[in-house]
Structure 1
Amino acid sequence: MTTTFADLGVNAHLLSALARNSIDSPVTVQVEAIPPMLRGRDVVIQAPTGSGKTLAFILPLVERLIAVKGPGPRALVVTPTRELAIQVDRVFQSLATGLKSALVYGGVGYATQEHALKSGVDLVIGTPGRLLDMVSRRRLSLSRVQLLVLDEGDEMLDAGFAPDVERIIELTYQPQMVLASATMPDWVSRMIERHLDDPIRIRIAAPVEDALEHGLLRVVRAEKLRTLSRLLQHHRGSAIVFGRTKHGVRKLSRDLRNLGHDSADLQGNLSQNVRDRTMDAFRGLRTNILVATNVAARGLDISHVDLVINYELPDSPQWLTHRVGRTARMGVKGRALTFLTPEDEAAWRTLRRQGAPALPELDVRHLLTEGDWRYVAASLVETQPRAGAPREPRRVQGEVRPANSWDRRRRRPRGRGPYRSDQRPASAGA
């Protein structure tokens, strides 16, 4: 028998909002997470990107805000990026008739955000640094926050964010806490032990084999750009291409435009207005190719992306997971492709030791001439080709060098209850 949102305890007001948004039935992570959140329990959600985590915590959040009135903000969602904050707010606004939210993130002026906070809000969604800026400027108090969500919590608690997140938690008074992310490294578990009260732990396995096809493409460095261009010529849908640095992403996007591709870049040197316009154009299919740093790899829900290309390797298996998670979302099939040059071999071996999956090697000739995803027989790429691999044949002018036959001589060495407004101490007032 199919579980419905009503079975999970979602009220009639939200059921109507879900119907207006054509959301008919809950997915697994929502079935597991919504009931304990409605009971006031702390919850840890580990689930693959695109599995429905955002709706899993937004629905109980809205339900609580409707049920318990009072001065705010009464709920706080902390995100690692501005783009993810905007996306979470979009989901909230689609469901929360009569409730007010404020977005608080860097890269834009303070005035608009301060005005929103001053007018009174139920929910604040923001990035750690700007949230603490608003607290220090006395524009924001977190003493009334009753539900605190750390979205993409593992990234939030990375080296650069950990002190800010710890400070934000200290500024609240025993809120119900939810931590949601696709990955859960060991050091996140230590934070959970410190700050969450006997949390319900939910882990949803990734159905990678069902939805995501991920292959590895060998290519020499000198041919990377031309190889990428040929791949994109065969691809008719929307694609995200990931690089490592802001400068490299900007240059790669410019190079693709010079080769005739409809490309835009998304990286940290852009103003917030430009980033917003870029994402709007990509969501609206006015731009087909998004070249991005890891800033776009976390949490963004862009349903029409059917190809992800790791033009440059990520720093960790977790980032690989978040990057390729931009496609194959909610069970819709998608493809990911990771470039591997001879210079990348050592980094790839390190990623494999850290837990990255072995990937089947794509047949470069079929891929570039026909756009056909065929794999080299019995290949799961772990290291470089065998020492006795034959040298590549002499290349015809204009032909892209086959990546799986590079010249090896070119290699370089190298338990709280539900909301209780009367549980705050007198010092936790306005």
Structure 2
Amino acid sequence: MSQFPHSNFSLEKLGISSLNEMQQQMLESSKTNQEIILHAPTGSGKTVAFLLTALGKLNKEQTSVQLLIISPTRELSIQIEDVFKKLSTGFKVNTCYGGHSMRVEENNLSVPPAVLIGTPGRLADHVRRKNIDLSEVHTLVLDEFDKSLQMGFESDMTEIIQELQSLQNKYLVSATKLENIPTFTQIKKPVTIDFLIEKSHRINYFGVQMNGSDKLDLLLELLCNLPEGKTIIFCNHREPVVEITDFLKENGIIAVAYHGGMEQDDRERALIRFRNGSADFLVSTDLAARGLDIPAVEHVIHYQLPLKEAEFIHRSGRTGRQDADGVVFMFLDSGKNVPDFIPEHHHYEVIPNEPLPERPKWKTIYISAGKKDKVNKVDIVGFLHKTGGLRPDEIGLITVMDYSSFVAISSEIAEEVVPELRDKKIKGKKQKIGFAR
């Protein structure tokens, strides 16, 4: 198995058996090039590509920040940190983002990490407060760079990059091709690795004509027409996200909302429930269009068409991954002009009065213990087996966070088992256990 500099890990820790072509090319190119622009679709393994590339540059003797990774969102920053921790490199890593305790971050940064990950706004805030010294950073990764520009972080990124006095390696990563590279990135003669490919051959597009129908009722009927599978319903603003989620719940469909106005904990729980199959429908703004690890999405619905082609592409690209076919539905109003970027599509005739989708096979339970309590997945599986009497096939995806854990358990036994687990001890300490909200 392939080994990498300064580490004793193998690719199994990442859940993969070998690197894909894009990852191999990134590693090979970094041997002779200090400036690389990587274009590849979300879900293709870009995070692994740039982390393994940057890992070879780290020095165990250096006690200051060496690698800086700037990403546009909290979720993406956390996701990058999770992947890095799986590598078990021995290098300290810290992540900074809005919504996280500034005091906790300041304490973490008092001992400089080798790897610092964060959103532009929060990182710039730490720079202004002089909580971090970036003068010895030699490697910079700008992940989902186009998204950072769209979100208005140019001034923050400029301020941060000006602090990088020892910068040598610059990696700009994006799921969209960029016409111009801003001068503040200090990237001058980059090598471009382009793995953006046209994926329309794996995505089937369907138009749903409203023709005066009540849009919410039409959506409900469409969901009743769909085969089993994860579905993301995209809106342009948070208000319809809330409205749709409430409407679906009132009509017996389990759905979770996801938008930028939610508290960070609520957003994380929504993604956990969607990923583990205890909620098959995610209603979201463009926040879920990219930068998140959401595997096996069978259907994407554009409840509201986006204003820009790039967002349409990213939304639609949530399905049709990993050599699987995907289906995209677009709500079209015959009284309005269809944007030029809408691809060729088939008309979808919604059949009324179909039965509601099957209830999810899983329910998510909450446990008030996590990584900081030295609790891991093995501990949780053992607890559920010994104390709750659960079989392996009755335990689904387990997500262990710093101070809490979330576990998918079979819906068939959840109502009976959870009361028996409440206030029981894990590793000698009584924990709060109940259904995740």
What TM-score do you get using the length of structure 2 for normalisation? 0.75
Matched with 1:396 is none
Distance 1:216 1:208 in 2: 18
Distance 1:11 1:160 in 2: 36
How far off is 1:207 after superposition? 4.5
Question: In the alignment, is residue 141 of structure 1 matched against residue 133 of structure 2?
Answer: yes
Matched with 2:171 is 178
- Residues 368 and 149 from structure 1, CA distance in 2 versus in 1: closer, same or farther, beyond 3 angstroms? farther
The residue type paired with residue 104 of structure 1 is C
CA contact (8 A) 1:212 1:328 kept: yes
After alignment, is 88-97 or 327-336 more displaced?
Answer: 327-336
The residue type paired with residue 124 of structure 2 is L
CA contact (8 A) 2:298 2:320 kept: yes
Residues 114-145 of structure 1: per-residue CA shift (max 9 Å, x gap): 22212331111111111111111221222121
* Residue ranges of structure 1 left out of the alignment (5+ in a row): 372-430
The residue type paired with residue 119 of structure 2 is T
Distance 1:76 1:235 in 2: 43
- Residues 366 and 291 from structure 1, CA distance in 2 versus in 1: closer, same or farther, beyond 3 angstroms? same
How far off is 1:190 after superposition? 3.5
Matched with 2:343 is 358
Q: Once superposed, what is the RMSD of the aligned Cα atoms?
A: 2.5
Q: What SS class does the counterpart of residue 19 from structure 1 fall into? A: helix
Distance 1:367 1:164 in 2: 51
Question: In the alignment, is residue 63 of structure 1 matched against residue 48 of structure 2?
Answer: no
Matched with 1:200 is 191
The residue type paired with residue 322 of structure 1 is H
Question: In the alignment, is residue 47 of structure 1 matched against residue 40 of structure 2?
Answer: yes
Distance 1:95 1:368 in 2: 50
- Residues 243 and 209 from structure 1, CA distance in 2 versus in 1: closer, same or farther, beyond 3 angstroms? closer
Matched with 2:15 is 22
Higher-RCO chain (CA-CA 8 Å, sequence separation at least 6): 1
Residues 74-127 of structure 1: per-residue CA shift (max 9 Å, x gap): 111111111111111111111133122111111232122222212331111111
- Equivalence map 1:112-127=2 (5 Å): 112-127=104-119
Matched with 2:382 is none
Q: Larger % of strand: which?
A: 2
- Residues 332 and 11 from structure 1, CA distance in 2 versus in 1: closer, same or farther, beyond 3 angstroms? farther
Q: What SS class does the counterpart of residue 17 from structure 2 fall into? A: coil
Distance 1:70 1:368 in 2: 66
How far off is 1:266 after superposition? 0.8
Percent of residue pairs identical: 31
Distance 1:360 1:261 in 2: 27
Distance 1:256 1:175 in 2: 52
- Residues 64 and 292 from structure 1, CA distance in 2 versus in 1: closer, same or farther, beyond 3 angstroms? same
Distance 2:219 2:251 in 1: 11
Distance 2:317 2:70 in 1: 20
- Residues 74 and 194 from structure 1, CA distance in 2 versus in 1: closer, same or farther, beyond 3 angstroms? closer
- Residues 128 and 219 from structure 1, CA distance in 2 versus in 1: closer, same or farther, beyond 3 angstroms? same
- Equivalence map 1:158-173=2 (5 Å): 158=150, 160-173=152-165
How far off is 1:369 after superposition? 6.2
Q: What SS class does the counterpart of residue 34 from structure 2 fall into? A: coil
Distance 1:147 1:221 in 2: 55
How far off is 1:218 after superposition? 2.0
Matched with 1:239 is 231
- Equivalence map 1:258-277=2 (5 Å): 258-277=250-269
Residues 203-254 of structure 1: per-residue CA shift (max 9 Å, x gap): 1132514432233322246432122212222331111111111122111111
CA contact (8 A) 1:85 1:125 kept: yes
- Residues 217 and 370 from structure 1, CA distance in 2 versus in 1: closer, same or farther, beyond 3 angstroms? farther
How far off is 1:28 after superposition? 2.5
